[in-house]
Structure 1
Amino acid sequence: MDLPALILSSDLARLGRDSRALARQAEAGELRRIRQGVYVRTEAWDALQHWERYPLLIHAAASTLRSRTVFCWQSAAALSAIPVLGTRHPVHACTSDAGGGRSRAGVRRHFADPQSLQVEEHQGLLVTARARTVLDLAAFGSFEQAVTAVDHVLRPARNGPPVLNLELLEAGISGIYTAAATRRIVTALEFGDPASGSPGESVSRAMMHRLGFKAPVLQYEIRDARGRVGITDFEWPEEGLSGEFDGLVKYRDEAYLKGRTSSDVVIEEKVREDRIRATGRRVIRWTWSELASLERFAAFLDAKGVPRIRYGNGQPPRGST
């Protein structure tokens, strides 16, 4: 989507206009100050989903930095259309200063050797290349974030091959990360699965793994006497149990709706689920609400009879964060 236009106090100053007018408009509720000297129309800001606001904050940071910056970690992911979990992230950028880790002008800096750094341009800004971005998320993010990023780039595009492959990702590890970070990356790469169909599905199975639940079969085809019923997100065939993650995108995304109304999709889902149940299976559904914490998701899965192979303590798999 197109991001709302940024309004910079520095632009007004260059034109000889009083930039304090922007502060007055912000006090009146007409503008939203999203960074020192950077504003956006309040109506436009309020219309954005939380995942749409973060890229705008990165652009706001870029507009106030003196030199062109290479963004990394979650910031590079957000600009490169790699799913980012969570709602509160600082702006992350690279620095050649070996000290790294310092925050200046609201930007958190991370050391990156210029000789090993590959850079791409997305949304008009420089970011670490996709492979490096995924590896950084796996090295320094949560296990759920790592799996989500790996699944995403391994998944085939709608009209072509996947963005990346394991060989390219593995080739980017050597000489950059510590032994501990490398173990975290390798754990995520080994667990990655291109069959995972969405960020919610990736988070779900990563949490199942941490909690000790039996690994489900992904994208399982269900058939009945009338033919193909559909594909379930998760399936435990021996238990006759089907699982569906419902991210609600299917009820709002025009690309998914394909001219149908949200009500049409709800009815179609109900008919599909009834046919699945008629095969003798149980069907369980969950949303982001159940994924809010490991404890909540564990309680949900236990209540629904999802089998366990061990009782996990919620700690990440060995080698991950």
Structure 2
Amino acid sequence: MLQTIASVAPSPIALLRSRDVAHPERAVRRGEIVPLRAGVYADTRQWEKLAPWDRYLARVHAVAVARPDALFSHESAAVLLGLPIFGDPVVVHVLAGPGTTARLVAGVRIHNGTYDRKLVQLGGMLLTSAADTAVDIARTRHPAIGLAVADAALRADPALSRAMLVALNESRSSKRGRAIARWPLHNATPLAATAVESVSRAALEWLGFPPASLQVSLRSRTGEVDRPDFLWPELGVAGESDGDLKYDGRYGSPVEILKRQWQRDARLREQLKAVAHWGWFEATTVDPLRTLLLGHGLRPVQPENPAALFSLRRAVAPAAPHRVVPSP
């Protein structure tokens, strides 16, 4: 089934073809351009300024330029759809028809199997739907990454539900893939407003802390409504997981953001005992998050999952995902 959608995330930099550059081999040797695919280049200075996830988006567009018939899947479909990408995955993923041998060729991973996926067309590019992309990633990546992408897919498409993702996974043929995807898909929710919240939810469960309510509206005495990312109402504790990502300037003056946060925290403390703040580092390196929450009065209600916590550090600690939007 093919669905047409209006827009796709554009390449963050201009892509150059061989015909656009005089003597491209010499330009590469001089360091003026960077080869992204055979016959597709980018200006070196622009490339070096890109965040890792934007470099990956440019790589995917470079493959689309070189192979206009490519059908993108996994992280490559995710980045085109605006779903979370962790660092620069480097390898571009495409689907081929039944009977094709799965293989990795020059940085492009070719997967077998288009027959069981819904496809969308974005600006002339073909890719798997948000639902199929979320299920593909949940079946093949770390559970915290699968959870972040599934949460984002539910946020992006109100017509999509957790039950639909679960059913889609169960309809796939690989028993091992179904088992891997069950935890992230059964726990997916559109209430997690950012990928940092999604990863934090995974870390909190594996640390053994009690489940929190998400995005609960609390009205202050003066009428303002605040929605903390996490709330443990019986303990009087709220949690905010945007942390350091708010203060790098991308969302405005850090001074003004800190002022608004102080005011918001003061309103929340009218009804709560404490407001805990953490960022990407604390959520993914785990130990600081545990110490922070214990210091705010939370206590584990089940044993920790050491294997899951160790794999979380290895899978997502090096780089934050793109398009993290802070809570209002």
Q: Same fold (TM over 0.5)?
A: yes
Pick the aligned partner of 1:179 from 146, 168, 175.
175
Question: What's the TM-score, normalizing by structure 1?
Answer: 0.82
Whether 1:133 aligns to 2:125 is no
Instruction: After TM superposition, give the deviation of residue 73 of structure 1 in Å.
Output: 0.7
User: Is the radius of gyration larger for structure 1 or structure 2?
Assistant: 1
Instruction: Tell me how far apart the structure 2 counterparts of residues 165 and 76 of structure 1 sit (CA, whole Å).
Output: 19
Instruction: After TM superposition, give the deviation of residue 269 of structure 1 in Å.
Output: 1.2
RCO (CA 8 Å, sep 6+): is it higher in 1 or 2? 2
Q: Which amino acid aligns with 1:62?
A: A
Q: Retained in 2: the 8 A contact 1:79–1:123? A: no
Equivalent residue runs for 1:160-239 within 5 Å: 162=158, 164-239=160-235
Whether 1:55 aligns to 2:51 is no
> Could you say if the C-alpha distance between residues 297 and 101 of structure 1 is closer, same or farther in structure 2, counting changes exceeding 3 Å?
farther
Equivalent residue runs for 1:87-106 within 5 Å: 87-96=88-97, 98=99, 100-106=101-107
The unaligned stretches of length 5 or more in structure 1 are none
Pick the aligned partner of 2:269 from 270, 277, 285.
277
Instruction: Tell me how far apart the structure 2 counterparts of residues 129 and 100 of structure 1 sit (CA, whole Å).
Output: 23
Instruction: Tell me how far apart the structure 1 counterparts of residues 163 and 212 of structure 2 sit (CA, whole Å).
Output: 25
Instruction: Tell me how far apart the structure 2 counterparts of residues 3 and 124 of structure 1 sit (CA, whole Å).
Output: 17
> Could you say if the C-alpha distance between residues 270 and 130 of structure 1 is closer, same or farther in structure 2, counting changes exceeding 3 Å?
same
| Corresponding residue of 2:321 | none
Instruction: After TM superposition, give the deviation of residue 279 of structure 1 in Å.
Output: 3.5
> Could you say if the C-alpha distance between residues 238 and 193 of structure 1 is closer, same or farther in structure 2, counting changes exceeding 3 Å?
same
SS of the aligned residue for 1:46 comes to helix
Equivalent residue runs for 1:10-89 within 5 Å: 11=19, 17-26=22-31, 30-65=32-67, 68-89=69-90
Q: Retained in 1: the 8 A contact 2:90–2:107? A: no
Instruction: Tell me how far apart the structure 2 counterparts of residues 164 and 40 of structure 1 sit (CA, whole Å).
Output: 37
Instruction: After TM superposition, give the deviation of residue 35 of structure 1 in Å.
Output: 4.1
Whether 1:306 aligns to 2:298 is yes
Identity %: 29
Instruction: After TM superposition, give the deviation of residue 12 of structure 1 in Å.
Output: 5.2
Instruction: Tell me how far apart the structure 2 counterparts of residues 189 and 308 of structure 1 sit (CA, whole Å).
Output: 24
Pick the aligned partner of 2:255 from 263, 278, 284.
263
- Once the two structures are overlaid, the 10-residue window that deviates more, 99-108 or 290-299, is 290-299
- Once the two structures are overlaid, the 10-residue window that deviates more, 95-104 or 125-134, is 95-104
Q: Retained in 1: the 8 A contact 2:131–2:160? A: yes
Q: Retained in 2: the 8 A contact 1:210–1:315? A: no
Instruction: After TM superposition, give the deviation of residue 149 of structure 1 in Å.
Output: 1.6
| Corresponding residue of 1:115 | 115
Question: What's the TM-score, normalizing by structure 2?
Answer: 0.80
Count residues with an aligned counterpart. Answer: 301
Instruction: After TM superposition, give the deviation of residue 124 of structure 1 in Å.
Output: 4.0
The unaligned stretches of length 5 or more in structure 2 are 1-9, 310-314, 316-328
Q: Retained in 2: the 8 A contact 1:200–1:247? A: no
CA RMSD of aligned residues (A): 2.9
- Once the two structures are overlaid, the 10-residue window that deviates more, 99-108 or 138-147, is 99-108
Instruction: Tell me how far apart the structure 2 counterparts of residues 169 and 229 of structure 1 sit (CA, whole Å).
Output: 32
Instruction: Tell me how far apart the structure 1 counterparts of residues 102 and 203 of structure 2 sit (CA, whole Å).
Output: 29
Give deviations 1:130-157, integer Å, cap 9, x for gaps: 21111101111111111112211222x5
Q: Retained in 2: the 8 A contact 1:153–1:163? A: no
Instruction: After TM superposition, give the deviation of residue 5 of structure 1 in Å.
Output: 1.0
Q: Retained in 1: the 8 A contact 2:97–2:115? A: no
| Corresponding residue of 1:8 | 17
